[in-house]
Chain A
Amino acid sequence: MIKRLVSIIILAVVITSLFMVLSETAPFGDDETVVSHRYIYKGVDETGSANLVTAVVLNYRGFDTLGEVTVLFVAATGVGAALYTRKHPVRKNKVEASLIVKTGSKLLFPMMLLFGAYIFVHGHLTPGGGFQGGAVIATAFVFKYISDTRYSIDHVGFTKMESASGMIFAGLGIMGLLLGGYFLLNILPNGTPGELISAGILPIIYIAIGIKVGAELTGIIDRMMGVEA
C-alpha cells in the first residue's frame, strides 16, 4: 500500500514537470522545424520520393534503417534462442477453431497478403512502408495459425526469403559504395515524383524490408505458438 502511494507521488512530480517543460519549450502546434527544413523543401527533388517520411527513413537516414532491420533480426534470433527446444515443437492448443473463424481466415488470407504487398510497394507514395506492410503480412499468418491447429510455416523457405531480402538491402548499399562512393547511394534515376516507378532504389529497399519484416515477425509468432509452457 505504501509503495503504491509513494510511486503515485513520484510519478505525479515527474509527469507534471515533464508536462510543464514541454509546454514551455515546445508548445503544441508550433513550428519547430530546424533540420527538417532541408528535408521538406529539397526532399522531393533530391530523392524523388513523394512521401517525405520515406525519404528521411530510407535515403537521408538509410544507414539507421539498416541498423533497425538488424535489431529486428537480432531480436528474432534471440526469441529463437530463448525458446529453443531440442525436439521439434508441437502446438499445444487442441481446441478447434469455429467454422466462422476458419472460413473467415480462408477468405481474408490472400487479401491480407495483397494489402500488405500494396502497402510496401507504395511506401514512397502513400503512408506506410516496408515495416507496416510486413506487419500486415505477419497478421495474415496469425490468422492461419489461429484457424488451423496443425498449421506450421515452411521454415526453410521463410529463412531463405528473409536472408535474400536482407542481402538485397545490404547489396544495394554496397553497389552505391562501388558506383558512387557512398554507402546506400541512390544509384537509379529519380524519375517523376508521385509515380509508382520513381525514387530510384527506395521502392526496391522497401520491398526487401517488407518481405524481411513479414518473415521475421511470422517466425517470432511461430516460435511462440510452438512453445510448450
Chain B
Amino acid sequence: MMFYFASAALIAIGIYMLMVKKNLIKMILGLSVIDSGVNLLLISIGYINGKTAPIIQPGVSPSNVVDPLPQALVLTNIVIGVSVTALALSVVIRVYKHYKTLNSSEVRDLKW
C-alpha cells in the first residue's frame, strides 16, 4: 500500500513539474520522475505478499515467486525512458544554442 502511495506521489510530482516549471531541463527531470513513478507502480502491482524474486534456484519453488511479467515490462520501460531523456536533452541543447535561453515561455511556439 505504501508503494502505491509513493508511486502516485511520484507521478503527481512529475506532472506538477511538467505543468508549472518553465525551465526545459526541469521539465525533462519531471518526465524522468513520472517514469520512476510508473515503474514503481508496475513493480508493486506485480508484488505478492510473502513471495520472493522470480529466480528459480534450490530452495525457491515456482509457487513461491512474484509475477515476473511486470518486471520484464519495467526493464523495457527503463530503457525507453533513458532513450527519451537522452533525446530530449539533446534537443534542449539545440534549443539553447538557437534561442540562448532555457525558459520555455521565451521560446517561440513553446508558449502556453
Contact = CB atoms under 8 A, between A and B. Distances in A.
Interface in A33-61: 33, 35-36, 39-41, 43-44, 50-53, 55-57, 61
Interface string A1-24: 001100110011011001100110
B107 interface: no
A74 B80 CA distance: 11
Contacts of B87: 75, 78-79, 82
Interface string A212-229: 010001001001100101
A79 B55 CA distance: 36
A194 B13 CA distance: 42
Interface string B6-48: 0011011001100110000000000000000000010011111
Contacts of B47: 28-29
A51 B71 CA distance: 11
Interface residues of B, number: 50
A154 interface: no
Contact of A53 (B5, B49, B57, B68): B68
A126 interface: yes
Interface in B69-99: 69, 71-72, 75-76, 78-80, 82-84, 86-87, 89-91, 93-94, 96-97
B8 to A, nearest CB: 5
Contacts of B4: 19, 22-23, 28
A31 B48 contact: yes
A56 B46 CA distance: 14
Question: Which residue, A26, A28, A32, A50, has most C-beta atoms of chain B within 10 A?
Answer: A28
B48 to A, nearest CB: 5
Question: Which residue, A33, A50, A55, A61, has most C-beta atoms of chain B within 10 A?
Answer: A33
Contact of B16 (A7, A131, A223): A7
19 contacts: A4-B20, A7-B19, A7-B20, A11-B12, A15-B8, A22-B4, A28-B3, A29-B49, A31-B48, A36-B68, A40-B62, A55-B68, A57-B75, A61-B72, A71-B80, A78-B87, A82-B93, A194-B58, A229-B97
A15 B91 CA distance: 30
A64 interface: yes
B112 to A, nearest CB: 10
B51 to A, nearest CB: 8
Q: Which 8 A-B pairs have the closest CB atoms?
A: A75-B83, A29-B49, A52-B54, A52-B68, A56-B72, A82-B90, A7-B19, A79-B90
A127 interface: yes
A72 interface: yes
